[in-house]
Amino acid sequence: MTYHHLTIEQRIQIENMISLDFKRVEICMHLNLTPSTLSRELNRNSQPYNAYQAQERYQRAKARCGANTKLTSKLKEEIEKNLDIMTSPEIYCATHETVCFKTVYNWIQNKCLSVTPDQLVRQMKKPKKTETRGKINSGRSITNRPESVELRNEFGHWELDTVVSPRGKDKSCIATFAERASRAYFTLKIPDRTSESMLMACRALYKSYPKQAFKSLTCDNGKEFSKYEEIESIFNCPLYFAEPYSSWQRGTNENSNGLLRRFFPKGTCFSEVSNEELLHATRLINSRPRKVLNFKTNDEKFQEYLLHLI
């Protein structure tokens, strides 16, 4: 796109025509200007319009054009050090207060930083394989879940899921639990994706926190939740099933599972992952500042809610 800057002669003509009460559209037609060009020129200069003051302002702005970048070698090193798989540019800028996060994204896009967009932006998900184990046809539907759960104002509403190893290669998987209000995320390695293993994981979670910390559960239609009545008896609260192909109804858990996959990508055999490695990844996820929590961490919010229960 080509364009021309206004000259001092044009600015003098604009000033004269304004003083003679010409309409803006008439000035544009006479000087062959677009209405937006004239509008910007008048808006950026004080009224009444003065051609020479406008020209001086233009020259000052022109002199600043192409100013030196704020990206010093020290700042570059600091940003690259902090932009890991758990920190986005927005989180970094909110917690360090250096530059605007949009500026950091521009530096990444322009290859000023040795960070690729692929490291920050989650890739498009591959089509899921068809579930062959069947689905649960009974149990409470999420449509019957109280609307108050959606607001996330009340602590104690959980989402459950599993993260699996490659099908046909390894049966080990990870049972995952996410608390909706605090976004706190908990993981437990289980030997397989059976209902018995899920019951074991549920008992371990329930024993770890006060019984008042559990008010409802939401899961998908996987067969690992087929013993939902026993799960309800463990937590002494109702369990709701999300609608098929509606992962957004368990968004907290799905988002956290995506963060876990940054440590253990698709194809990882969880039988080869140690409990220490899993615990380390979970701690990093829970210590990640969240914009939705005013840049507090999941763990900080979870501990606040627990203190209120006590």
User: What is the number of other CB atoms lying within 10 angstroms of the CB of residue 4?
Assistant: 8
The residue count of the chain comes to 310
Domain ranges of the chain: 8-64, 73-119, 140-309
DSSP characters over 109-120? HTT-SS--GGGT
Query: Smallest Cα–Cα separation from 70: which of 94, 102, 95?
Result: 102
Residue 289, helix vs strand vs coil? strand
CB-facing half-sphere around the CA of 206: CA atoms within 13 A: 19
Going along 78-147, which residue ranges are E strands? 140-141
Q: Which residues pair with 173 in a beta bridge?
A: 164, 190
pLDDT score at 263: 94
pLDDT score at 124: 44
pLDDT score at 251: 93
CB-count burial class (<10 Å; 0-12, 13-18, 19+) for 61: exposed
Digit-by-digit pLDDT tens for the chain (310 residues) are 456 789 999 999 999 999 999 999 999 999 999 999 999 999 988 888 999 999 999 888 887 776 567 788 888 888 888 877 677 888 888 887 778 888 888 888 888 888 876 666 554 455 455 555 455 656 899 999 998 899 999 999 999 999 999 988 999 999 999 999 999 999 999 999 999 999 999 999 999 999 999 999 999 999 999 999 999 999 999 999 999 888 899 999 999 999 999 999 999 999 999 999 999 999 999 999 999 999 999 999 999 999 988 7
Whole-structure pTM value: 0.67
- Whether 86 contacts 102, CB under 8 Å: no
What element of type H or E holds 240?
A: strand 239-241
The pair of three-digit structure tokens given for residue 296, joined into one six-digit string: 């507090």
pLDDT score at 235: 96
pLDDT score at 1: 46
Going along 115-211, which residue ranges are E strands? 140-141, 157-164, 173-179, 185-190
140-309 topology per CATH = Nucleotidyltransferase; domain 5 (3.30.420)
pLDDT score at 123: 47
